[in-house]
A and B are shown apart, each in its own frame.
Chain A
Amino acid sequence: GAGVSQTPSNKVTEKGKYVELRCDPISGHTALYWYRQSLGQGPEFLIYFQGTGAADDSGLPNDRFFAVRPEGSVSTLKIQRTERGDSAVYLCASSKTGTNEKLFFGSGTQLSVL
Chain B
Amino acid sequence: TQLLEQSPQFLSIQEGENLTVYCNSSSVFSSLQWYRQEPGEGPVLLVTVVTGGEVKKLKRLTFQFGDARKDSSLHITAAQTGDTGLYLCAGGSSNTGKLIFGQGTTLQVKP
Contacts and interface: CB of A to CB of B under 8 A. Distances in A.
Interface of A: 4, 31, 33, 35, 40-45, 48, 50, 55-56, 58, 91, 93, 97-100, 102-103, 105-108
A45 B98 contact: yes
Contact of B97 (A44, A48, A107): A48
B48 A102 contact: yes
21 contacts: A31-B97, A40-B106, A41-B103, A42-B4, A43-B88, A45-B101, A55-B96, A55-B98, A56-B98, A58-B98, A97-B97, A99-B97, A100-B31, A100-B50, A102-B33, A103-B33, A103-B99, A105-B43, A106-B42, A107-B40, A107-B42
Interface in B71-109: 86, 88, 90, 92, 94, 96-104, 106
Question: What range describes how many residues of B lie at the interface?
Answer: 20 to 34
B64 interface: no
A107 B44 CA distance: 10
Give the dominant DSSP class at A's interface.
Answer: loop
A100 B94 contact: yes
Nearest to A100: B31
B11 interface: no
B101 A99 contact: no
A92 B31 CA distance: 20
Contact of A99 (B40, B42, B90, B92): B92
